C-alpha cells in the first residue's frame, strides 16, 4: 500500500489535481509546506512572522526551518502523507531522508508528471483562481456564470501564473528542483506519468502506474 509519497514537478504539471485524486482514493492527506506556513502566518507564530517577512522580499524560507515544520507536522499527524511541492531543493531532500530514516518510515514513491513546456504555459496562462476558496480552475471547468464552480466566488487570473513570472518559476524549478528529481530517479523510487490530456485521462494512467508499484 502506498502511504508515503511525494509529488514533484514543474508549475502547472497537474500534480495538485492528481495528489487530490490519490488522497480521495486512499484517505491520506495531501500536505504542502506552503499551506503549513500560511497557517503559521495566520496564527502569528515566530515562524509565521519570519515567513511573512521573507515573502515580502521574495526570499524562500530557509531549508532547516522547512524541515522543522515538516517534523512537527509528522509528530502531530503521523507517518502517512502525500507531500505536494516539497522537497523543493536537494538540501531539503537529504534532510527529509534523514528525518524519515530516524523515524523508520522511508519514502515509498516520488511521482512526477511529464507535460511539455508549451502545454504547461498554455494551462498556466488560462487558469483562473477563486478569490474566496483559493482553488484554481482551467477554462473547461468554469461554467457560463464565470464564477467559482466550487463555492460561487469570483474568479481571478493569478498574476504569478502568467508569462514572465511563469518563466521565472520554471527557471527556479530547473535550477533547484530538477536535482531532486534526479536524486529520486537514482534511488529507484521515481515514477513518471504522462501528464498530458484531461485530468481523468491522467488519473487513469496514474492508477495503472501505481498498480505496477504494488497498488493503492
Ligand atoms: Zn471558490
Q: Give a yes or no: residue 157 inside a domain.
A: no
Is residue 4 part of the annotated active site? The answer reads no
Is the pLDDT reported for residue 43 higher than 90? yes
For residue 143, the CA-to-ligand 1 centroid distance in Å is: 13
pLDDT band for position 141 (50/70/90)? confident
For residue 128, the CA-to-ligand 1 centroid distance in Å is: 10
Specify the pLDDT at position 56. Answer: 79
pLDDT digits (tens, 9 = 90+) for 11-31: 889 999 999 999 999 999 999
For residue 207, the CA-to-ligand 1 centroid distance in Å is: 28
Q: What angle do the packed helices 63-77 and 90-103 form, to 10 degrees?
A: 30
Specify the pLDDT at position 136. Answer: 82
Is residue 158 part of the annotated active site? The answer reads yes
Q: What is the CATH number of the domain that holds 36?
A: 3.40.50.300
Which of 4, 94, 135, 158 is catalytic? The answer is 158
Which of 4, 38, 94, 169 is catalytic? The answer is 169
DSSP assignment of the chain, as one string?
---EEEEE-STTSSHHHHHHHHHHHH-PPEE-HHHHHHHHHHHT-HHHHHHHHHHHTTPPPPHHHHHHHHHHHHHHH-S-EEEES---SHHHHHHHHHHHHHHT----EEEEEE--HHHHHHHHHH-EEETTT--EE-GGG--TT-B-TTT-PBEE--GGGSHHHHHHHHHHIIIIIHHHHHHHHHHT-EEEEE--S-HHHHHHHHHHHHHTTT--
Is the pLDDT reported for residue 161 higher than 70? no
Nearest CA-CA partner of 138 in 149, 146, 130, 126 = 126
Nearest CA-CA partner of 106 in 211, 12, 188, 18 = 188
Is residue 88 part of the annotated active site? The answer reads yes
Cell triple for 83 = 507531500
pLDDT digits (tens, 9 = 90+) for 105-123: 999 999 999 999 888 888 8
Q: Give a yes or no: residue 79 inside a domain.
A: yes
Q: Are strands 81-84 and 109-114 parallel, antiparallel or unpaired?
A: unpaired
For residue 15, the CA-to-ligand 1 centroid distance in Å is: 19
| Peptide bond connecting 23 to the previous residue in cis, omega within 30 degrees of 0 | no
Q: Are strands 30-31 and 155-156 parallel, antiparallel or unpaired?
A: unpaired
Which of 15, 38, 42, 123 is catalytic? The answer is 15
Positive or negative: CA dihedral 146, 149, 154, 158: negative
Q: Give a yes or no: residue 60 inside a domain.
A: yes
* 8 Å CB contact between 193 and 209: yes
For residue 131, the CA-to-ligand 1 centroid distance in Å is: 7
Higher pLDDT pick, 142 / 160: 142
Specify the pLDDT at position 49. Answer: 92
pLDDT digits (tens, 9 = 90+) for 51-96: 888 877 767 788 989 999 999 999 999 999 999 989 989 999 999 9
Number of folded domains that form the chain: 1
Integer Cα distance of 155 and 135 in angstroms: 9
- Residues in the chain, overall count: 216
Q: Give a yes or no: residue 205 inside a domain.
A: yes
For residue 200, the CA-to-ligand 1 centroid distance in Å is: 21
Structural domain harbouring 23: 4-116+176-211
pTM score, whole prediction: 0.82
Phi, psi of 55 (to 5 degrees): -70, -25
- Average pLDDT of every residue of the chain: 90
For residue 132, the CA-to-ligand 1 centroid distance in Å is: 5
Amino acid at each position: 500500500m502506498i502511504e508515503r509519497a511525494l509529488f514533484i514537478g514543474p508549475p502547472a504539471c497537474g500534480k495538485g489535481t492528481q495528489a487530490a485524486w490519490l488522497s480521495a482514493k486512499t484517505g491520506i492527506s495531501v500536505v504542502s509546506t506552503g499551506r503549513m506556513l500560511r497557517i503559521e502566518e495566520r496564527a502569528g507564530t515566530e515562524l509565521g512572522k519570519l515567513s511573512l517577512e521573507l515573502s515580502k522580499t521574495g526570499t524562500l524560507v530557509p531549508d532547516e526551518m522547512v524541515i522543522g515544520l515538516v517534523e512537527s507536522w509528522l509528530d502531530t499527524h503521523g507517518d502517512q502523507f502525500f507531500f505536494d511541492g516539497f522537497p523543493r531543493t536537494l538540501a531539503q531532500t537529504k534532510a527529509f531522508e534523514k528525518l524519515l530514516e530516524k523515524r523508520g518510515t522511508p519514502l515509498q514513491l516520488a511521482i512526477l508528471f511529464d507535460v511539455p513546456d508549451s502545454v504547461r504555459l498554455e494551462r498556466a496562462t488560462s487558469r483562473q483562481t477563486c478569490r474566496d476558496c483559493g482553488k484554481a480552475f482551467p477554462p473547461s471547468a468554469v461554467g457560463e456564470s464565470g464564477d467559482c464552480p466550487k463555492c460561487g466566488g469570483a474568479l481571478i487570473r493569478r498574476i504569478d501564473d502568467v508569462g514572465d513570472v511563469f518563466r521565472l518559476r520554471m527557471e527556479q524549478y530547473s535550477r533547484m528542483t530538477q536535482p531532486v528529481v534526479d536524486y529520486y530517479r537514482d534511488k529507484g523510487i521515481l515514477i513518471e506519468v504522462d501528464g498530458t490530456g484531461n485530468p481523468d485521462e491522467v488519473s487513469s494512467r496514474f492508477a495503472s502506474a501505481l498498480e505496477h508499484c504494488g497498488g493503492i
